[in-house]
Every structure is written in structure tokens, then in C-alpha cells.
């Protein structure tokens, strides 16, 4: 082959000759930004994107520069060193260690120095992020209706447009799976704003640092089949209020509560809930009082007293109790508290087909 022919061969667009079904698979593997860029290639690619891409991940992390993440990691590592020194000294009952004082001062110095810098980056990124999400979700009415099956929004801090984002995503674009993550802050949303929308198809909802206003029977909750609540979304009264309204809920996950929660008493005799997962859900005890359709229960984190009531279909239980601190991470303090295994099987445990026990640390003693 001659050099000129070889050069022309390299420039030839061979990928567009593939079947549309294959091209759609390729586009679906791309991130949202790259997939959107394919629309400028040709009319064919524009149509492919419109008909194929149904999942979008719009995160502020894509805008924040690498230096932001490096500086944030410095603060995290300094705090980890301080916590490790503090936990190690709990054995001696003394906080006078020179190493501990040094690690504390080092952490505080880095926090005071770097926090204003991190906040400036976050404000800069959020201004650009808001423009990007507004252009995507708050498009004029004459814009062609797109199909959005999955949508993930991740912001660092609040925005005055958050209510509009949620309402437009669920009520206008018909999102079926929505994940909303708000870092460094929290947000409260009134789900009754969606009651008048006719295009609501929401089945799966993930909320992190976003909780709902107390509302009687919001219609959106009645169609949910999967719900995950994280961090500030885990306020007990809000969790119980949601459970009472989620008539079709099958899967519930509660993750990473920031503070100690009161006893979790679950009384939902009319619920269809089949799977309940508690991951670092910091609570005194869990009472499965009345969950008639529950089949799978998993609990991970700090040792928690568990009482079983009316759970006739429960067959799979997984208990993963680690020696943890209040943040849910491994605790090196080696607390002298112990928990009898019988505390994890209070009440009337059903006949199980599958039981997993993972107990680490010195906090667990034998049956009694």
C-alpha cells in the first residue's frame, strides 16, 4: 500500500459503517460529556444519541480540578493521624502524649489553612455546575423530549435551583431512577410538588443529605419500589414517615448515619418490603416488629441489639459487626464493652435458611 493510500485509509470513517445497534452499545459505555459530544459528528450520530442514551451522571467532581482533590486528601489524612493517636491513647486513659498534641495541631493547622481554599474551589465549581444542570434539565418547552431512565446529581453545597431540578427530573422528564447527593450541606424537598405531574415514573430513589418535608401521603412515594437514604436523610421521623407512605416499597437501604439514632421499631403490617439493609446505621436497637413480607435482613457496623417479631417470611440474615467508632470505621480504641450473641437474636427469630455472622473485635462474648 502506498503512503498516500495508507494515510487516506487511516482517515476513513469506518466506525459509522457499523450497525446502529452496535453504535448504540458503544455510546452507552461513554460518560455523559463524551456521549453528548458525539452528536456533532453527523446527523446519524445525533439520532443515535437521542434514541440510546438514557442514563446520565452529572457530578460536580467532574468540574473540580485535580488540585482540589489533592488538598482535600491532605486534610483527610491529617485527621486520620489525629484520630489514630487519640484512639491509641484511650488505652492509657491519658491525652498528654506529645505525639497526640502534635497530630492535633497538625490537623487543625491544615484545616484552617486549606478550608478557605477548598471552599473557593467549591463555589467556583458550583457556579459552573448549576449552569450545566440548568441547561440540561430546565430546557425550554420547545426542546425535543428526551428519555431519561437514570439520573445522578451530585453537588457540593446548596443551590436555589435544587427544587426545580428534582421537580423537572421526576415530573417532566420521567426519570425512573434518581440519585441525589449533596455534599457539605443538606436540602429539604417537598415531594407534594410532584402530585400534579402526569409523567411521574419514579421507581428507585437514592437520597444523600436530602430529606423530605413532612407531607401526608405524597403520591410519588406510593410508586417507589427501591429507596436508599444516606447521612442527613436518615432522620428517624422522616424514615418512619416515608415507610408509612411507600406502599409498594420492596427494597430499603439506610446508610451512614452521622449521629446516634433512637431505637428503630419497624411496624408496617401492610408493607410489601422484602429486603432491609442497614449499613453503618448508628442505632441503639432494631425491632422488626411487623414486616410480614420481609425475606432478607442485613446489618453492618456497630453491634446493635436486634429483636424479631412478626417476620414469618424472613429466611436470610447477615450480621456483620465490626469494632467500629462513631463514624462507622474500624476503631482502634479497643473498647472493653462486650455484647452477648444472644442480644442479636432477641424475641422470636424465625427459621432461617441462610445466616451469616461476621463478628470482629473484643466486643462480642459467647451465648448466655
Please, which pLDDT band fits residue 242 given cuts at 50, 70 and 90?
A: confident
Let me know if 159 is exposed, middle or buried by CB neighbors in 10 A (0-12, 13-18, 19+): buried
Measured CA to CA, the distance from residue 145 to residue 83 in angstroms comes to 51
Triad 213, 215, 217: Cα angle to 5°? 140
Residue 71: phi and psi, rounded to 5, are: -65, -40
Question: What does the block give as the cell for 235?
Answer: 432522620
Provide the percentage of residues in the chain whose pLDDT is more than 70.
Answer: 71
346-347 and 305-310: which strand pairing?
parallel
Higher pLDDT, residue 45 or 114: 114
Q: How does pLDDT run across 248-283, given as a tens digit for each residue?
A: 999 999 998 877 788 899 999 988 999 999 999 888
Distance CA 80, CA 197 (A): 47
Cell 435482613 belongs to 297
Task: Work out the average pLDDT over 172-185.
Answer: 91
Q: Give the residue ranges of DSSP H helices in the chain.
A: 3-11, 20-28, 32-37, 43-52, 66-89, 98-137, 162-167, 219-222, 236-245
Residue 212 vs residue 96, higher pLDDT = 212
Averaged pLDDT for residues 122-132:
93
Whose cell is 494515510? That residue is 7
Indicate the pTM of the whole model.
0.77
pLDDT at 332: 44
Asked if 245 contacts 267 with a C-beta cutoff of 8 angstroms, the reply is no
Cα–Cα dist 29/91, whole Å: 51
Q: How many residues in total does the chain contain?
A: 368
What pLDDT does residue 66 have? 93
Q: Among residues 309, 361, 307, 355, which one has the least CA distance to residue 338?
A: 361
pLDDT confidence of 1, banded at 50, 70, 90? very low
Which range is least confidently modeled, 231-245, 247-261, 276-290?
A: 231-245
Percent share of the chain, pLDDT over 90:
32
| Average pLDDT of the residues in 105-123 | 86
Rounded-to-integer distance, Cα 320 and Cα 298, Å? 8
3-state secondary structure 286-323: EEEEECCCCCEEEEEECCCEEEEEECCCCCEEEEEECC
pLDDT on residue 113: 86
Task: Read off the pLDDT band of 126 (50, 70, 90).
Answer: very high
> Is residue 59 helix, strand or coil?
strand
The predicted-structure confidence for 187-225, as pLDDT tens digits, reads as follows 888 888 888 888 889 999 999 998 877 655 677 888 899
pLDDT value at position 90? Answer: 61
Name the average pLDDT for the chain. Answer: 79
- Are 224 and 246 contacting, i.e. CB atoms less than 8 angstroms apart? yes
Weakest mean pLDDT among 62-71, 97-106, 346-355: 97-106
Is there a contact between 257 and 284 (Cβ–Cβ < 8 Å)? no
Amino acid at each position: 500500500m502506498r503512503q498516500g493510500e495508507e494515510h487516506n485509509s487511516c482517515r476513513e470513517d469506518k466506525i459509522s459503517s457499523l450497525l446502529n445497534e452496535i453504535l448504540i452499545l458503544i455510546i452507552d459505555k461513554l460518560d455523559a460529556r463524551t456521549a453528548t459530544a458525539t452528536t456533532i459528528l453527523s446527523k446519524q450520530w445525533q439520532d443515535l444519541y437521542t434514541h440510546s442514551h438514557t442514563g446520565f451522571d452529572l457530578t460536580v467532581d467532574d468540574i473540580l480540578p485535580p488540585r482540589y482533590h489533592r488538598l482535600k486528601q491532605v486534610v483527610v489524612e491529617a485527621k486520620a493521624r489525629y484520630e489514630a493517636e487519640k484512639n491509641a491513647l484511650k488505652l492509657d486513659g491519658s491525652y498528654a502524649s506529645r505525639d497526640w498534641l502534635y497530630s492535633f495541631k497538625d490537623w487543625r493547622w491544615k484545616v484552617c489553612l486549606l478550608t478557605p481554599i477548598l471552599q473557593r474551589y467549591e463555589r467556583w465549581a458550583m457556579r459552573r455546575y448549576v449552569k450545566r444542570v440548568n441547561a440540561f434539565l430546565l430546557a425550554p418547552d420547545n426542546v425535543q423530549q428526551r428519555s431519561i431512565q437514570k439520573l445522578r446529581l451530585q453537588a457540593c453545597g446548596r443551590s436555589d435551583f435544587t427544587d426545580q431540578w428534582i421537580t423537572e427530573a421526576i415530573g417532566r422528564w420521567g426519570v425512573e431512577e434518581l440519585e441525589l447527593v449533596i455534599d457539605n450541606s443538606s436540602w429539604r424537598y417537598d415531594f407534594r410538588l410532584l402530585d400534579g405531574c402526569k409523567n411521574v415514573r419514579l421507581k428507585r430513589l437514592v437520597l444523600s443529605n436530602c430529606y423530605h418535608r413532612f407531607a401526608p401521603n405524597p403520591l410519588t412515594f406510593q410508586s417507589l419500589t427501591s429507596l436508599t437514604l444516606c447521612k442527613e436523610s436518615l432522620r428517624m421521623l422522616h424514615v418512619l414517615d416515608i415507610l408509612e407512605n411507600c406502599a409498594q416499597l420492596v427494597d430499603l437501604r439506610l446508610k451512614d448515619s452521622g449521629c446516634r439514632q433512637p431505637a428503630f421499631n419497624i411496624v408496617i403490617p401492610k408493607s410489601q418490603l422484602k429486603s432491609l439493609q442497614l449499613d453503618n446505621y448508628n442505632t441503639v436497637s432494631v425491632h422488626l416488629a411487623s414486616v410480614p413480607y420481609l425475606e432478607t435482613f442485613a446489618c453492618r457496623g456497630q453491634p446493635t441489639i436486634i429483636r424479631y417479631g412478626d417476620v414469618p417470611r424472613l429466611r436470610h440474615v447477615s450480621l456483620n459487626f465490626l469494632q467500629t467508632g462513631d463514624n462507622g470505621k474500624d476503631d482502634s480504641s479497643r473498647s472493653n464493652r462486650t455484647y452477648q450473641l444472644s442480644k442479636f437474636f432477641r424475641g422470636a427469630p424465625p427459621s432461617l435458611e441462610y445466616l451469616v455472622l461476621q463478628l470482629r473485635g473484643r466486643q462480642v462474648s459467647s451465648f448466655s
